[in-house]
Amino acid sequence: MTLRFPAVLFDLDGTIVDSARELIASVLHALAQVDDREPPDKDTILMEVGKPLEVILRELGYPHSPEDVRRFTETYRAHFAAHCAEEAGVFPYLTEVLDALREAGAKLAVVTTKHQEQAELTVAQLGIADRFDYVRGWLEGRKHKPDPEPFLEAAARLGVEPREALVVGDTEQDILAAQAGGMTSVAVTWGFRPLLMLKALRPDFIISRPTDLLPIVVTAAGA
């Protein structure tokens, strides 16, 4: 077997982790601490998932002063951390795909807008931390998706050039960042965005099953 891409950079929520219910519940819980208005419906919230928390608050039309953002983010993170391990889980066959990629020699990383400590806690709680060589979450004062910087940093940490890295994600944040960083992009259909929206982004690949990733990354001997 040979590797087309020696490094694979994964988004977390909606790509590896089936956490839609927990994310929506955490956003609703945190919004109630900022303003007591009628909350947005779940579909509206789901379309915001994957963006930085302060962006979610602003785009949902809520007050977003520094104090509002602080209260929202702290409440959201505490609520999600308390419920993720109990209710969220890795998508079916994803763990096996991660293992197959590692066995083939690929280096793996997580790149997420989730706070750094929470990102590391999430992969640990789900029992997949040892599959990844690097986890890059939200860091104060740093750029985040859709800026390519976190993906470029992850590629550098894994010792590969941008063109050697494959970005796998379920939202526009991932695909736009990959394109801006000169990386190959894979959009997954089991996450938080509808297929038509993903197609409009023109990723290099669109896959509907985790196992579809393997032939993109790994080439059989003699192929």
CATH of the domain at 194: 3.40.50.1000
- The domain boundary residue, chosen from 37, 68, 87: 87
Q: Are residues 60 and 120 both part of a single domain? A: no
Do 136 and 194 fall into the same domain?
A: yes
Q: Is 97 in the same domain as 192?
A: yes
| 101 and 57 both lie in a single domain | no
pLDDT in tens, 4-63: 999 999 999 999 999 888 889 999 999 999 888 889 999 899 888 878 888 899 999 998
According to the model, what pLDDT value does residue 84 have? 67
Domain end among 60, 87, 114: 87
- Asked if pLDDT for residue 222 goes beyond 50, the answer is no
Please say which residue of 55, 87, 119 terminates a domain: 87
The span from the CA of 44 to the CA of 54, in Å, is 16
Nearest to 195 by CA among 204, 187, 186: 187
DSSP class of residue 127? T
User: Looking at the structure, do residues 128 and 206 belong to the same domain, yes or no?
Assistant: yes
What CATH code is carried by the domain that includes residue 60? 1.10.150
Tell me which residues are annotated as active site: 11, 13
Amino acid at 58: R
How confident is residue 208, by pLDDT bands cut at 50, 70 and 90? very high
Among candidates 132, 172, 128, 135, which has minimal Cα distance to 151? 135
Over the chain, what is the mean pLDDT? Answer: 92
Name the percent of the chain lying above pLDDT 90. Answer: 69
Whether 117 and 146 map to the same domain: the answer is yes
> How does pLDDT run across 107-127, given as a tens digit for each residue?
999 999 988 998 999 999 899
Q: Are residues 71 and 124 in the same domain?
A: no
* Number of domains present in the structure of the chain: 2
Range of the domain at 142: 2-18+90-219
Average pLDDT over residues 133-143: 92
- Is residue 29 domain-shared with residue 116, that is, in the same domain? no
Instruction: Examine the pLDDT at 223 and tell me if it is beyond 60.
Output: no
